[in-house]
């Protein structure tokens, strides 16, 4: 997958593509339906398969003071899209100036002139342009005028009749239900980041942890999780088992939320490396203990519980 940041200078091999358009935060099963529809068209016609997305997320531009909400910050989104097999990810910088562009101008200048789009695919509820003036009806009409096809993909529902959505994923994660989030995503929710130096308290307690700052990502419910860990950059990624804490470490008066992951049966140096930590199951909420002895006792129980959960998962 190639990544492009300027629609004005797209090379010829990326133009005349079937393009899925959306924010795609989470790249969940509903998003995948939209993106894969563009892929089916691209492969049938022998043209490039692309995704046009927006960074930063428009919500962070218009509601800059709200708490972190992103399910897939840029790097995680790119990784999820690459796994779908697309040829190109085009990233449009979103700011207030871009948001003022009329919907018709976006179609003419970006989709027609910039992309030379062959076919556009979007979700049924996709809106765009100044004051959300553009929608699927406009794309259909302007496609007929400018010579590109358009497909609107209907809502995708889970077996219980609920629409797959990023909002539902956020609710699951904030309620300590990573399994529910996984059902909507089609994969476990993962937190990615570079391992940062810590206070090495875990090492003293016999549980050396890799510490990752949560950055712009959504804060799942504070507590202990059974996790899978991948060390990024390896030629053949190997999934490791572990247990992690998400929270502010109240027993030691920690400040700011942090992901601390202890990898089972592993003793390699991880400082500076990037990890992808997938939340498999929630074990218990984060609580304050009276001292380090009580904390260590509970950590031993948490690790054993996580091993049991992950062993059962491996047998399924």
Q: Please report the pLDDT score of residue 293 as a whole number.
A: 79
Residue for token pair 């990023």: 166
CA pair distance 220, 283, nearest whole angstrom: 13
pLDDT level of residue 203 (50, 70, 90 thresholds) = low
User: 53 by DSSP, 3-state: which?
Assistant: strand
* C-alpha angle 236-74-127 in degrees, rounded to nearest 5: 130
CA pair distance 222, 249, nearest whole angstrom: 10
Q: Please report the pLDDT score of residue 237 as a whole number.
A: 61
Query: Sign of dihedral through CA atoms 7, 11, 17, 22?
Result: negative
Q: What tokens were used for 245?
A: 């804490």
Output phi, psi for 230, to 5 deg. Answer: -120, 135
Q: Please name the residue ranges forming H helices in 186-235.
A: 201-205
Q: What tokens were used for 77?
A: 């989104």
Q: Please report the pLDDT score of residue 255 as a whole number.
A: 58
CA pair distance 19, 35, nearest whole angstrom: 8
Q: Please report the pLDDT score of residue 199 as a whole number.
A: 66
pLDDT digit string, tens, across residues 43-69: 999 999 999 999 988 888 887 777 789
Q: Please report the pLDDT score of residue 175 as a whole number.
A: 97
pLDDT digit string, tens, across residues 7-25: 888 999 999 999 999 999 9
Q: Please report the pLDDT score of residue 123 as a whole number.
A: 96
Q: Which residue has the higher pLDDT, 292 or 245?
A: 245
Mean pLDDT taken over the chain: 91
Mean of pLDDT values over 162-186: 96
Mean of pLDDT values over 196-224: 82
pLDDT level of residue 268 (50, 70, 90 thresholds) = confident
Domains for the chain: give ranges and CATH numbers.
2-153 (3.40.50.620), 188-315 (2.40.30.30)
Contact assessment for residue 265 and residue 301, using Cβ atoms and an 8 Å cutoff = no
Q: What tokens were used for 46?
A: 């022998």
Residue 269 has pLDDT above 90, yes or no: no
Q: What tokens were used for 53?
A: 């997305």
Q: Which residue has the higher pLDDT, 145 or 200?
A: 145
Entry pTM = 0.90
Query: Sign of dihedral through CA atoms 41, 45, 51, 52?
Result: negative
Mean of pLDDT values over 211-217: 88
**Residue closest to 110 by CA, chosen among 7, 204, 198:** 7
Q: Please report the pLDDT score of residue 71 as a whole number.
A: 95
DSSP 8-state class, residue 280: E
Query: Sign of dihedral through CA atoms 94, 96, 101, 102?
Result: positive
Residue 307: HSE in the Cβ half-sphere, 13 Å Cα cutoff = 10
Q: Please report the pLDDT score of residue 205 as a whole number.
A: 65
CA pair distance 208, 189, nearest whole angstrom: 23
Residue 260: CB atoms within 10 A of its CB come to: 22
Residue 88 has pLDDT above 60, yes or no: yes
């Amino acid at each position: 997958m190639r990544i492009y940041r300027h629609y004005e200078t797209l090379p010829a091999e990326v133009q005349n593509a079937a393009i899925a358009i959306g924010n795609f935060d989470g790249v969940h099963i509903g998003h995948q339906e939209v993106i894969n529809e563009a892929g089916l068209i691209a492969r049938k016609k022998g043209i490039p398969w692309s995704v046009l997305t927006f960074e930063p997320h428009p919500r962070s531009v218009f509601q800059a003071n709200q708490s972190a909400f992103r399910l897939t910050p840029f790097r995680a989104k790119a990784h999820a899209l690459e796994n779908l097999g697309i040829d190109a990810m085009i990233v449009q910088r979103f700011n207030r100036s871009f948001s003022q562009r009329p919907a018709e101008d976006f179609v003419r200048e970006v989709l027609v002139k910039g992309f030379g789009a062959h076919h556009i695919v979007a979700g049924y509820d996709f809106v765009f342009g100044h004051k959300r003036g553009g929608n699927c009806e406009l794309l259909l009409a302007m496609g007929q005028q400018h010579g590109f096809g358009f497909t609107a993909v209907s809502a995708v529902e889970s077996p219980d009749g609920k629409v797959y959505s990023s909002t539902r994923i956020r609710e699951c994660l904030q309620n300590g239900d990573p399994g529910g989030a996984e059902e909507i995503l089609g994969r476990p929710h993962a937190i990615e980041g570079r391992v940062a130096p810590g206070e090495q308290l875990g090492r003293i307690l016999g549980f050396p942890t890799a510490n990752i700052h949560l950055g712009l990502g959504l804060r799942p419910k504070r507590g202990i999780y059974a996790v899978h860990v991948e060390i990024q950059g390896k030629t053949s990624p190997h999934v490791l088992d572990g247990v992690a804490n998400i929270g502010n470490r109240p027993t030691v008066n920690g400040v700011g939320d942090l992901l601390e992951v202890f990898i089972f049966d592993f003793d390699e140096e991880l400082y500076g490396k990037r990890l992808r930590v997938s939340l498999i199951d929630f074990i218990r909420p984060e609580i304050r203990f009276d001292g380090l002895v009580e904390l260590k006792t509970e950590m031993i129980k948490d690790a054993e519980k996580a091993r049991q959960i992950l062993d059962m998962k491996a047998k399924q």
